[in-house]
Copies of this chain bind each other. A is one copy, B any other.
């Protein structure tokens, strides 16, 4: 009867609950809604001009990410960051586009340093034949693109290289970090945060890692991956 004043009129059309989710999620992730801040469904549906259904769905999703808890009579309470489900890719994205992006970047980089060497070792043991070949090809591409100076193409190849190591590691927990690594690498280049001129050592290490994985040498693969990440280490204020 007098329902839809908003869904078709908006550019986004469908997925209007996605817009609300992004808005609220980003607000919490960025700290604009502090821990302890109380929301109510009523306020939310008025603020976003949506129905109770959509507001409820949205809050339910944020609840499973542990961004909020909802209790009767008290409302929807923003939780302490320590409780958050920080591996949720959506939350990672929100945090990477917020003022606190630097913390997030540092944490993710440290996680990369932890995971990628073992992922490389796993790949050396468990990658398929085609994955090994593809990895070798990508290492060669990296060499070529690095020397040609095409940073965008280099970034793409670099992402593909690291993704492939993770996904062929045979460990789905590692593979699930694909998107995170892509995000971090992209962010690194885009921001010039880590002045980016691929050094010979790095290119060598990529090739050595690819070769080690190709011939199934887990130890060397792990060591080479560690070397790849060595320069990254400098970006964090540790060691």
A176 at the interface (CB under 8 A from B): yes
How many copies make up the complex? 2
Tell me which residues from 153 to 173 in chain A have a Cβ below 8 Å from any Cβ of chain B: 167, 171-173
What is the distance, in angstroms, from A226's C-beta to the closest C-beta of chain B?
11
B107 contacts A172, C-beta separation under 8 Å: yes
What is the distance, in angstroms, from A208's C-beta to the closest C-beta of chain B?
19
Tell me which residues from 87 to 130 in chain A have a Cβ below 8 Å from any Cβ of chain B: 87-90, 106-108, 110-111, 113-115, 117-119, 121-122, 125
Interface residues of A, Cβ cutoff 8 Å to B: 17, 53, 56-57, 60-61, 64-65, 81-82, 84-90, 106-108, 110-111, 113-115, 117-119, 121-122, 125, 167, 171-176, 218, 238-239
23 cross-chain CB contacts under 8 A? A53-B53, A53-B56, A57-B57, A57-B60, A60-B61, A61-B61, A61-B64, A84-B172, A84-B176, A86-B176, A87-B87, A88-B88, A107-B171, A107-B172, A110-B122, A110-B171, A110-B173, A111-B115, A111-B173, A114-B174, A115-B115, A121-B239, A218-B238
A86-B172, A107-B173 are known; give 12 further A-B pairs, CB within 8 A.
A53-B53, A56-B57, A82-B172, A87-B176, A108-B173, A111-B173, A114-B114, A114-B115, A114-B119, A114-B174, A115-B115, A121-B238
